[in-house]
Amino acid sequence: MFVRSRSQAEPFTTKDGSTIRSLLDLSCAPVRGQSLAEAEVGPGQATTRHRHPSTEEFYYCVEGSARLEVGGEVRSIREGDAVLIPAGEPHQIYNSASKPVRILCCCAPAYRHEDTELLPDGPALA
């Protein structure tokens, strides 16, 4: 068994502009095929539209609400919502709320910075 506390995960900013805490990934745990991170997007902020050519992602909203675009489709998400982001699909999140939105991000295969491609803006999220 391997256990890692959220307090052990130092936050950092990813290529897409979100603040991430890597909870379990290749850099900190004996994982092989997946990773788990907590992402936070502050009020009035958005990630840069991007895609992961070889990584499938699950988002699970644990706190707050936001607008999310995946592959050109825009929807509102809120606490308790789970989202599938297929490998290669462009996506972006925008937080128009007054509080941060926190999302658990599960990636398979495990997240790698090299698998993030930044893209031009897509559909309006506001």
pLDDT of residue 124: 87
Q: Which helix (H) or strand (E) holds 25?
A: none
* 26-69 tens-digit pLDDT: 999 999 999 999 999 999 999 999 999 999 999 999 999 999 99
* Cα Rg of the chain (Å, integer): 14
Q: Is the pTM of this model over 0.75?
A: yes
Q: By CB neighbour count within 10 A (0-12 exposed, 13-18 middle, 19+ buried), where does 110 fall?
A: buried
**What are the tokens at 110?**
């495990």
Give bridge partners of residue 22 from the DSSP assignment.
37
Residue written as tokens 């462009």?
90
Fold of 19-118: Jelly Rolls (2.60.120)
Q: Give domain limits for the chain.
A: 19-118
